[in-house]
């Protein structure tokens, strides 16, 4: 497999599980996501920016899991630097998927001001014991 299957990339929601920064317990949220064209990168936007609990959690412990349909992927989350090409790509991918954004249109306030987060997931096939 060279990446996340298209059938999973087209789903409406993902379940992101982080580790609680205070409790150390798993914390799961349902969230919008977009898959990049390259293998193994999932993008999220945080409307609450760095104040969102899930962002605070990944800042302390970047190891996460993300469930897309029937598949769960282990990954490492990272904040995407504002103004970088990857930041713009993440915003366009999510705005296109959920808001019908196309080239030449202005991004919505949510797509412009949210904090972009990337999750680099392990897409290698697992061997059965």
CATH of the domain at 90: 2.30.110.10
Please check whether residue 107 lies inside any domain of the structure.
Answer: yes
Please check whether residue 76 lies inside any domain of the structure.
Answer: yes
Range of the domain at 111: 6-121
Beta strand 63-68 with 14-19 is antiparallel
Long-range contacts of 80-84 (CB under 8 A, 24+ apart): 80/43, 80/116, 80/117, 80/118, 82/116
DSSP three-state, residue 49:
helix
Give the pLDDT band of residue 129 (cuts 50, 70, 90): low
Please check whether residue 43 lies inside any domain of the structure.
Answer: yes
Please check whether residue 55 lies inside any domain of the structure.
Answer: yes
User: CA–CA separation, 109 vs 82, rounded Å?
Assistant: 15
Q: Report which DSSP code applies to 82.
A: T
How many residues are present in the chain?
Answer: 129
> What confidence tens digit (pLDDT) does each residue in 9-68 have?
999 999 999 999 999 999 999 999 999 866 789 999 999 999 999 999 999 999 999 999
């Amino acid at each position: 497999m060279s990446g996340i299957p298209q059938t999973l990339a087209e789903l409406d929601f993902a379940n992101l599980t982080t580790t609680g920064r205070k409790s150390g317990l798993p914390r799961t949220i349902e969230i919008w996501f977009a898959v990049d064209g390259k293998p193994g990168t999932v993008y999220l936007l945080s409307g609450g920016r760095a104040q969102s609990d899930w962002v605070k959690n990944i800042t302390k412990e970047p190891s996460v899991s993300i469930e897309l349909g029937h598949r769960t992927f282990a990954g490492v989350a990272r904040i995407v630097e504002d103004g970088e090409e990857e930041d713009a790509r993440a915003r366009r991918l999510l705005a296109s998927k959920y808001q019908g954004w196309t080239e030449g249109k202005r991004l919505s306030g949510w797509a412009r001001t949210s904090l972009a987060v990337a999750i680099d997931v392990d897409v290698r096939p697992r061997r059965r014991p």
